[in-house]
């Protein structure tokens, strides 16, 4: 499908950060752009801000002087919606409230030609609901840019129930022509990125409320062990805790209280306190110029001379090479004399073990969702996103873990060049439970036909900066392992939050790749 021709002007309603950013994208692509805002002077200020950004692009060598001058000439601040009457595409970026958007689209329908495409930049509101009541709801679609619009590559194109597929195709092609990567999806709660990202915040809140560890440690583990670009608490402070809570609450309410998306008391408390994040000078962290709290990091311990690996690692298998390269002798067997994991997660004497056996007989076990306490003298090891590049690991000793076992485990990973965070024995630890929930959410979205598998992974890489898409991650780890951990968490927390997607369970039994769903 062909994109909107450059001869067609583009209208943008709302001259705030998002609106002016979207206007800049269309402008640099070669369109005439008309910027409108209901507040007096806001559109003119938006034009000034865009001019300043274009000048910075010239200074950086991204645009030539001639290109910047031509772009400025194509940009106009307008004083009424009537000035958008001949636009081929009008994109709204106004307040995230359904009544305001409905009122705006009703007004646009009166002044724009019947073939004008009307797009909403909403991140959470139903496109179907926005278009309801219009004379031609089929020409309304989503065009959700990510902030900052000129820099972020992803554009979600959610189609409402009444959206003409051709309209969504044109908008997706236009986004691609503007240098963006469009992702098509249905207009369901949270679309793709905001919906799948809910567990990234939610699992951190769960660990915090259980007093598994503190915010700084959770953030450090997800960054330095999981490979995420930011931790959930620092990211929430950046986005705004009020905004993050509102998005989460919107998804939860639109899914009629599905426990997978339920907000947490801790989130509401920081909002009630006015700790909204960076913009307020305080959120989960203080932004008064002082030092941020450091993550819990174990003091140096001596490394054991020799350990024995009996199998059972998936996400952490590559750490064995790092341990061996550090001078620790790693004898590798798939079976051994220490015991084996039974269906209940316990060890039966005299049978084969999983994990790393330490000199004193204690075990380091890659988490499978249950506490290390059920395994006796054992330490649970959290997942790492990339064993070759991880700079931290997270350990949780069981209640019966001997001090020497924990010391040996800490020393072994420190010798491999890894910082070690020791947390309480919470089920699924931090990285593993987070990744499993992201995978499950992605599988469920694809299974419902709300987005294609490839688009889901693309959206999460480009929209949230995850090191890999959740479906790719699930295939790397193994759907059977992901399903096992979720099932264990579902038994531990019988609220429905951790229920595995039926398609995930099927993939676990058949071995079908999640990216092939």
Position 291 scores a pLDDT of 84
Helix spans in 255-402 (H): 265-272, 319-325
- Where on the phi/psi map is residue 274: left (φ > 0), alpha (ψ -120 to 50), or beta? left
Neighbour count for residue 82 (Cβ, 10 Å): 12
Partners of 79 in the beta sheet? none
Catalytic residue among 20, 126, 187, 194: 194
C-alpha distances (whole Å) from 9 to each of 4, 19, 30, 37, 116 are 9, 15, 10, 17, 10
Q: Let me know if 144 is a catalytic residue.
A: yes
Tokens of 6: 């450059």
* DSSP secondary structure of 339-351: -EE-TTS-EETTS
Query: Nearest Cα to 181, choosing from 173, 189, 169?
Result: 173
Give dist(CA 421, CA 214) in Å, integer: 11
- The conformation of residue 292, written as its DSSP 8-state character, comes to P
Q: Do residues 50 and 27 lie in contact, with contact meaning Cβ atoms separated by under 8 Å?
A: yes
Q: Do residues 505 and 483 lie in contact, with contact meaning Cβ atoms separated by under 8 Å?
A: yes
Neighbour count for residue 138 (Cβ, 10 Å): 14
Q: Do residues 402 and 377 lie in contact, with contact meaning Cβ atoms separated by under 8 Å?
A: yes
Number of H helices, E strands in the chain: 19, 18
Tokens of 440: 């499950």
Tokens of 75: 């940009």
Catalytic residue among 20, 121, 123, 501: 123
Determine the angle formed by the axes of helices 479-492 and 470-477, rounding to 10 degrees.
Answer: 100
Strands (E), 407-471: 419-422
Series of mean pLDDT values for 10-residue runs along the chain (517 residues): 93 96 97 97 96 96 95 96 97 96 97 96 95 96 96 97 98 98 96 96 97 98 98 96 94 95 96 96 93 95 96 94 97 56 36 79 95 95 97 98 98 98 98 98 96 97 96 96 96 96 96 93
Q: Do residues 338 and 359 lie in contact, with contact meaning Cβ atoms separated by under 8 Å?
A: no
* Helix (H) or strand (E) segment spanning residue 484: helix 479-492
Q: Do residues 34 and 10 lie in contact, with contact meaning Cβ atoms separated by under 8 Å?
A: yes
Residue pLDDT, tens place only, 40-67: 999 999 999 999 999 999 999 999 999 9
Q: Do residues 472 and 455 lie in contact, with contact meaning Cβ atoms separated by under 8 Å?
A: no
Q: What are phi and psi of 302, to 5 degrees?
A: -70, 145
- The conformation of residue 326, written as its DSSP 8-state character, comes to T
Tokens of 181: 């990567």
Q: In the predicted model, what is the mean pLDDT of the chain?
A: 94
Q: Let me know if 123 is a catalytic residue.
A: yes
Catalytic residue among 3, 92, 156, 203: 156
Partners of 157 in the beta sheet? 184
Q: Whose structure tokens read 């990510």?
A: 146
> Dihedral, CA atoms, 253, 256, 259, 264, nearest 10 degrees?
20
* CATH architecture of the domain covering 10-187: 3-Layer(aba) Sandwich (3.40)
Tell the burial category of 168 from Cβ atoms under 10 Å away from its Cβ (0-12, 13-18, 19+): buried
Domains 10-187 and 194-280 share a fold: no
**306-422: which CATH number, 3.40.50.720, 3.40.50.2300, 3.20.20.370, 3.40.50.300?**
3.40.50.720
Position 334 scores a pLDDT of 63
* DSSP secondary structure of 34-73: EEE-SSTTHHHHHHHHHHHHHHHHHHHTSS-HHHHHHHHH
β-strand 392-397 against 419-422: which pairing, if any?
parallel
Give dist(CA 222, CA 393) in Å, integer: 10
Q: Let me know if 3 is a catalytic residue.
A: no
Position 333 scores a pLDDT of 83
Q: What are phi and psi of 514, to 5 degrees?
A: -65, -30
Give dist(CA 182, CA 185) in Å, integer: 10
Does the domain at residues 194-280 carry the CATH identifier 1.10.1040.50?
yes
Q: Do residues 375 and 347 lie in contact, with contact meaning Cβ atoms separated by under 8 Å?
A: yes
Give dist(CA 47, CA 29) in Å, integer: 16
Residue pLDDT, tens place only, 299-335: 999 999 999 999 999 999 999 999 999 999 999 986 4
Query: Nearest Cα to 245, choosing from 214, 271, 278, 213?
Result: 271
Walk across the sheet containing 392-397 and list its strands: 329-332, 306-309, 356-357, 363-366, 378-381, 392-397, 419-422
pTM flag (> 0.75)? yes
Neighbour count for residue 309 (Cβ, 10 Å): 22
Residue pLDDT, tens place only, 198-211: 999 999 999 999 99
Q: Do residues 513 and 472 lie in contact, with contact meaning Cβ atoms separated by under 8 Å?
A: no
Q: Let me know if 194 is a catalytic residue.
A: yes
* Helix/strand/coil for 474: helix
Catalytic residue among 144, 244, 250, 441: 144
- Give me the residue spans of the domains in the chain: 10-187, 194-280, 306-422
Position 328 scores a pLDDT of 97
């Amino acid at each position: 499908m062909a994109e909107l021709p450059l001869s067609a002007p583009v209208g943008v309603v709302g001259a705030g950060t998002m609106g002016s950013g979207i206007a800049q994208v269309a402008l640099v692509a070669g369109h005439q752009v008309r910027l409108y805002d209901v507040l007096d002077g806001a559109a003119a200020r938006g034009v000034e801000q865009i001019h300043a950004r274009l000048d910075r692009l010239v200074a950086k060598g991204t645009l030539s002087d001639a290109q910047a001058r031509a772009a400025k000439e194509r940009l106009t601040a307008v004083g009424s919606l009537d000035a958008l009457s001949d636009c081929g595409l009008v994109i709204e970026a106004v307040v995230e409230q359904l009544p305001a958007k409905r009122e705006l689209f009703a007004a646009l329908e009166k002044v724009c030609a019947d073939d004008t495409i009307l797009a909403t930049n909403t991140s959470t509101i139903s496109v179907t609901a926005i278009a309801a009541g219009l004379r031609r709801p089929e020409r309304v679609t989503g065009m959700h840019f990510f902030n900052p619009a000129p820099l972020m590559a992803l554009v979600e194109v959610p189609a409402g129930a009444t959206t003409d597929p051709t309209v969504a195709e044109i908008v997706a092609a236009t986004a691609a022509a503007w240098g963006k990567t469009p992702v098509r999806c249905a207009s369901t709660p949270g679309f793709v990125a905001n919906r799948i990202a809910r567990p990234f915040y939610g699992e951190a809140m769960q660990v915090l409320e259980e007093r598994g560890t503190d915010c700084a440690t959770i953030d450090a583990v997800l960054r330095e062990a999981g490979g995420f670009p930011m931790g959930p608490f620092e990211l929430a402070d950046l986005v705004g805790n009020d905004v993050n809570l509102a998005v989460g609450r919107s998804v939860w309410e639109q899914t009629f209280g599905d426990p997978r998306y339920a907000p947490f008391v801790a989130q509401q408390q920081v909002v009630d306190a006015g700790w909204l994040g960076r913009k307020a000078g305080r959120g989960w962290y203080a932004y008064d110029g002082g030092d941020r709290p450091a993550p819990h990091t174990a003091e140096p311990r001596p490394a054991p001379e020799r350990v024995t690996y009996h199998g059972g690692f998936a996400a952490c298998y590559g750490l064995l090479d790092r341990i061996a390269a550090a001078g620790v002798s790693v004898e590798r067997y798939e079976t051994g004399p220490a015991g084996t994991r039974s269906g209940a997660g316990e060890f039966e004497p005299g049978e084969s073990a999983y994990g790393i056996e330490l000199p004193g007989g204690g075990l380091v076990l890659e988490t499978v969702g249950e506490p290390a306490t059920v395994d006796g003298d054992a330490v649970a090891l959290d997942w790492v996103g990339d064993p070759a590049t991880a700079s931290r690991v997270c350990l949780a000793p069981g209640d019966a873990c001997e001090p020497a076992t924990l010391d040996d485990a800490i020393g072994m990973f420190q010798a491999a060049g890894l910082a070690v965070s020791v947390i309480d024995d919470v089920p699924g630890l931090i990285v593993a439970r987070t990744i499993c929930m992201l995978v499950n959410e992605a599988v469920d979205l694809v299974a419902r036909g709300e987005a294609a598998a490839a688009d889901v992974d693309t959206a999460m890489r480009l929209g949230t900066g995850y090191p890999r898409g959740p479906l790719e991650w699930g295939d790397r780890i193994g759907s059977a392992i992901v399903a096992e951990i979720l099932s264990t968490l579902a038994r531990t927390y019988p609220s429905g939050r951790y229920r595995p997607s039926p398609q995930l369970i099927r993939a676990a039994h058949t071995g079908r790749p999640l990216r092939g769903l």
